[in-house]
Amino acid sequence: MLKFRRKILQAGAGLVLADPMFSQRRALAQTPECVDNPTPRQIEGPYYTPQTPRRSNLIDGLPGEILVLEGRVLSTACQPVAGAIVDLWSCDAQGVYDNTGFKLRGHQITNAQGWYRFETLMPGAYGNSSFRRTPHLHVKIQPPASSLLTTQLYFPDQPLNQRDGFFNPALLVKIEQKAKQPKRALFDFVVPVQARG
Ligand SMILES: [Fe+2]
pLDDT tens for each residue of 137-187: 999 999 998 899 999 999 999 999 999 999 999 999 999 999 999 999 999
Tell me which DSSP letter residue 64 carries: S
Cα of 76 vs centre of ligand 1, distance in Å, is 27
Phi, psi of 10, deg, nearest 5: -65, -40
Number of folded domains in the chain?
2
Per-residue pLDDT tens over the stretch 3-46: 444 443 444 443 444 444 544 454 455 566 777 889 999 999 99
Please indicate, yes or no, if residue 121 is contained in any of the structural domains: yes
H or E element at residue 45: none
| Cβ burial 118-146 (10 Å sphere, 16+ → b, else e) | bbbbbbbbbeeeeeebbbbbbbbbbbeeb
50 with 92, same domain: the answer is yes
Cα 162 to ligand 1 centre (Å): 16
Instruction: State the distance from the centre of ligand 1 to the C-alpha of 90, rounded, in angstroms.
Output: 6
C-alpha of residue 32 to centroid of ligand 1, in Å: 30
Residues 24 and 98 placed together within one structural domain of the fold? no
**Co-location of 10 and 74 in the same domain:** no
How many whole angstroms from 95 Cα to the centroid of ligand 1? Answer: 8
- Give the residue among 4, 146, 6 at the shortest CA–CA distance from 82: 146
The answer on 148 and 83 residing in a single domain is yes
Do 86 and 166 have their domain in common? yes
Ramachandran region, residue 162 (left: φ > 0; alpha: ψ -120 to 50; beta: rest): alpha
